[in-house]
Structure 1
Amino acid sequence: MERQFPVFKRPSKDRELTLHSRPFFWDGGRGASSPLRNETVHPHLSNPTNDSRSMMTTRILLASLIALLAAATTAQAKPPTLDRLFPPGAQRGQTVAVTASGSFEHWPVRVWSDAPGVEISPAKEKGQLSVVVSSDAKPGVRWIRLSDEEGATALRPFVVGVLPELVEIESKDKPIVLESSRVTINGRLGKGGDVDEFSVPLKKGETLVAAVDANGLLGSPMDAVLQVASPEGFVVAQNDDDRGFDPRLTFEVPVDGTYVVRIFAFPATPDSTIGFAGGDAYIYRLTLTTGGFLDYSYPLAVTRSDPGQVEAHGWNVPETAKHLAVATDASHDRASLVHPDFANTVDVQLVAHAALTEQEPSDPAHPQAIPVPSTLTGRIAPARDQDIFTFNAKKGQSLNVVVESQSLGAPLDPVLRVTDHQGKTLNEVDDNGKELDIRLAFTPPADGEYRLSIRDLHGQGGDRFVYRLTVAAPEPDYELTLKSDRLTLTPDQAGTFEVTIERKNGFNGPIDVRFDGLPEGLNAPSVRSEPGKDTEKKVTLSLTATATALSGPFRVLGSTADGAMLERPARSVIEGVSATTDRPWLTVLKPAAPKAP
């Protein structure tokens, strides 16, 4: 749950500064409150004057030593670090104990979540959290951050699931027996050579879906492999890279029996490891179900103003859930499809222009005409299929042609070809190896009709070989990026945030960049980025705090200064994963302790 900045004021009497349940104590100097009061006089030191001088010298030396130690302790204080949460998820309506792995010099810590539905509080034992997931929480990822008076951790994911959840416990007895075929297992491959096995009862005619979330979502350094073994012990299904490094497989059960689902891993970054890999960071979520599981929606994009319904495609899709309504949100460009009959969710893109679907046969003899701009959802099926579309364009008109598929989790490796009305090839592109999608900047050489053809590079096809084609004129835009998602200041000291600006599609207007959501007492002037000047690609925001300790999220926003008010938040990459955030964190440290008199 998002929380506002807590502001901490220095009490006038006991010098105690309270932050939630943990008191901060101001060090006002040892002086008269020094504990060095009951010194023992050596019996051989009989001269009172010498005794007094000796005691005074001892007091001064010890007081100085204590002050130095206190200063060293203050200087060495470090912000908390959070490597991972385990278990990394829980079912809606569940309360779980979660271990926060990391470094915490102060405990308890404060906990922040980027979305509602999950309440997290620190337990008495350091590194332990209590997580309460509401029964109506929206399934999906919550990004969690821990903080104290010294700073904040990186964001870490916690997943709200739909199915009952279990936590894998290491045991010499393998495999672990599951009572149900519909469950999400939170597990860890704890050491090299580790293989986790789960026995699950299945009936003839059922379709088992097994899906792993580890590398892509949780940041686990593992390249996992999934296997299903028959009751006789033979491997009957295997997958290792259905979605990046995270495997997913489906298995049609031929006979009743108890089958074994097996997971093991190699390092995602190749090293000298020969056998299976493991370690504390090798955590995963394994979902097993013979119930509904979503693969994608058809279409993959809908018009924001009139989204309507989409078809649910996946496995074990019930009749009552074959069509799902799309709920739009003005603040997002995607809508999440949630239904109680499915173990997971998928997203559908929201667009401002026409959203179409492929109309068969869409072949060379019967191409499908599409308007510009538009976004179309199509499918390459059967194998060696080729979809053909036509559009009209003017000479010199700048157009962007985008084909998305593998980035959406589909197996299609698309090839795009652009031809003129005489059949002359003007462009033919595949992905460049680094990008999963095709992005082509196309300028028509003359007025007239042009053709787009889409096929699979390897001549494959099928129900899952879907794609999203967008043809549109490039719209001037910009992106703001932050190097870090955390900023720590001391009172009355200026801190800086470097903001990188990427101007897109010819955008050449000024951009005002500013902090947003800061509490009072902070001096944070906006900065203007202007084309043709030193600020065109990069600006530096300055922030000066008063002597008030505070901690909390904020945003950096850009807005155009030409009246169009094109507003964009600055984003930064979340440490350890490929996701980004637009909610960086500010910590203003408590004022330094007064020097001893």
Structure 2
Amino acid sequence: MNRMLTLQGAAIKAFANGLFTALALTVLLIGHNAKAANPSFSTTIPRGAQSGTEQKVIFYGDRLSDAEEILFHHPGISVKELKVLDSKKVEVTMLVAPDCRLGEHHLRIRCRSGISYARNFWISQFPNVAEVEPNDDFENPQKISLNVTVEAEAKSEETDYYQITAKKGERLSVEIEGLRINNIRNNIAIDPFVSILNKDRFEIASADGSSLLKQESILSVIIPEDGEYIVEVRDSAYQGRGRYRAHIGTFPRPLAVFPAGAKAGSEMEFKLIGDVKGNFSTKAKLPLTTAEGTFGVFGAQGGLKSPSPNLVRVSEFDNFLESEPNNSSKEANPYEGSLPVAFNGILDEPGDTDYFKFKAKKGESFRFRVYANSIGSPVDPVLYIYDSSMKSVGSNDDADGTKDSRVDFKASEDGDYFVRVRDMLK
């Protein structure tokens, strides 16, 4: 008998049916007008909107003169008015619901001649503020309020500066949407770098990428004293060009979440880890199905949420949470239930390693799969499986094109076995 054991579940494919329907519809529409060319949809300006507002958006592309409808992949956004400006531009007035999910959404343009490829559009809790040029001089930055989303464009060999006023002890957070909102295929993108400086140009903190969002930068600090501060945004190599959105405010920005997943349809209390003001908890109910096999957990404080969620794995299996100390085989957390199961742990200090113990019968086959780096954890996991005498029966560092680990093995005899997880660099 083959069974699967994962350290946070298996993906559940659900969205495919809707996507196939859209593709089939495209074929039918093209069939009615064989001479027409598919519409091309490249981008929108602005690249996002605030929840609970009405936003006028220009859709850019080609062969859009017969545009009739905007198709949304997720609920929360509707169209109040659509106006074709010319073959390359469509003006759309959008209505964004107050409870619209924050973060990335996907949409398409439906024309009489066909349906465009999907592009993304971003929803924020904050109002849009347009960049005002020139703002590339540290001594003359663009002044903005806290808790806004700046819609801007980065140019090569240019730095954008934004000035805010903050109070001592206040949290100041910045999150950039740069690579995620541009057309990398057409060489239009920025690899964002962000820093926070005081009025004397002393750097308080900076970021060039993040474990959570990969090449996108996030940054949070506690303001040391009342005064004016500068947020610097640029391409990390001074070469990229493209649009970006900068969320600047007092919102929380946790960097990791525990447990790293839960059973589909269950309600779970999650611990959000790494915010500069300390860890905090929130409850969330996971969906029964998800196309990506993940679910976004937003932690709120003071009525504000992080601009993007911390991802957790949606699994078919029950959770088994670690209990410290479990840093050796003698201290291994014993799981007495039947497999499969989802083990969950935290590597919370340099050199930490986690052991779990489980039982297996001769001839049973298992797959162990770690989900860490692929869901935004800073951990680069190494996975080991041992038999009852602590003889290795399998180990792995990176698998399936990711930094996460996978080991397949077949039990050679009845008895106890051990799972060990550590970080490759710590």
For the aligned pair, the TM-score class normalised by the smaller chain equals: 0.7 to 0.9
Match for 1:277 among 239, 245, 255? 239
5+ residue gaps, structure 1, are 6-18, 20-25, 28-73, 267-274, 460-597
1:315 aligns with 2:257: no
**AA matched with 2:238:** F
Letter of the structure 1 residue corresponding to residue 160 of structure 2: D
Segment drifting more, 431-440 vs 203-212: 431-440
Going from structure 1 to structure 2, the CA distance change for 1:309 and 1:317 (only over 3 Å counts) comes to farther
Partners of 1:431 and 1:79 in 2: CA distance: 40
Alignment of 1:337-376 (within 5 A): 337-338=297-298, 339=300, 340-344=303-307, 345-364=309-328, 365-370=330-335, 371=337, 372-376=339-343
Q: Secondary structure at the match of 1:143?
A: strand
Offset of 1:118 from its aligned partner? 1.0
Aligned partner of 1:88 in structure 2 is 47
Identity %: 22
Q: Are 1:291 and 2:256 matched, yes or no?
A: no
1:270-321 CA-partner distances (Å, limit 9, x unpaired): xxxxx61243xx12222222232343432122233542432333526799xx
Asked if the contact 2:354/2:421 (under 8 Å) is kept, the reply is: yes
In the alignment, the residues of structure 1 paired with residue 311 and residue 60 of structure 2 have an alpha-carbon distance, to the nearest angstrom, of 31
Q: Give the residue type in structure 2 aligned to 1:183.
A: V
Shift of 1:177: 0.7
Q: Secondary structure at the match of 2:403?
A: coil
Report if aligned partners of 2:171, 2:277 keep a CA contact under 8 Å in 1.
Answer: no
1:132 deviates by 1.8
Offset of 1:384 from its aligned partner?
0.8
Deviations 1:436-470 (A, max 9, x none): 211221222222211121111111xxxxxxxxxxx
Q: Distance in 2 between matches of 1:329 and 1:223?
A: 33
Q: How far 1:336 moved relative to its partner?
A: 3.8
Structure 2 CA distance for partners of 1:236 and 1:317, relative to 1, 3 Å: closer
Which structure is richer in relative contact order (CA contacts within 8 A, separation 6 or more)? Answer: 2
**Contact 1:393–1:448 at 8 Å: present in 2 too?**
yes
Distance 2:260 2:355 in 1: 19
Kept after mapping to 1: 8 A contact 2:221/2:276:
no
Match of 1:424 in 2: 391
Structure 2 unpaired stretches of 5+: 1-17, 23-28
Tell me the alpha carbon deviations over residues 63-90 of structure 1, each in whole angstroms, 9 at most, x when there is no partner. xxxxxxxxxxx95x43221111221111
| Pair 1:252 & 2:222 matched | yes
Q: Indicate the RMSD between aligned Cα atoms, in angstroms.
A: 2.9
Q: How does 1:110-125 map to 2 (within 5 A)?
A: 110-120=69-79, 121-125=81-85
TM-score by length of 2: 0.80
The 2-side partners of 1:419 and 1:311 are apart by 30
Structure 2 equivalent of residue 452 of structure 1: 419
Q: Distance in 2 between matches of 1:175 and 1:434?
A: 42
Q: Distance in 2 between matches of 1:232 and 1:305?
A: 52
| Aligned equivalent of 1:270 | none
Q: Distance in 2 between matches of 1:298 and 1:317?
A: 17
Does the aligned pair in 2 maintain the 1:418–1:426 contact within 8 Å? yes
Task: Give the equivalent residue in structure 2 for 1:387.
Answer: 354
Q: Distance between the aligned counterparts of 1:183 and 1:318, measured in 2? A: 23
TM-superposed CA distance for 1:430, in Å, is 0.9
How far the C-alpha of 1:244 sits from its partner, in A, is 1.9
Give the direction of change, closer, same or farther, for the CA distance of 1:329–1:454 in structure 2 (3 Å limit).
closer
Deviation at 1:422? 1.5
Q: Which residue of 2 aligns with 1:331?
A: 289
From the superposition, tell whether residues 124 and 154 of structure 1 become closer, same or farther in structure 2 (CA, over 3 Å). Answer: closer
Q: Distance in 1 between matches of 2:224 and 2:246?
A: 23
The residue type paired with residue 110 of structure 2 is: S
Contact 1:229 / 1:235 at 8 angstroms: preserved in 2?
yes
Task: Give the counterpart letter for 1:276 in structure 2.
Answer: Y
Structure 2 match to 1:148: 111
SS at match of 2:374: helix
Residue 61 of structure 1 aligns with which residue? none
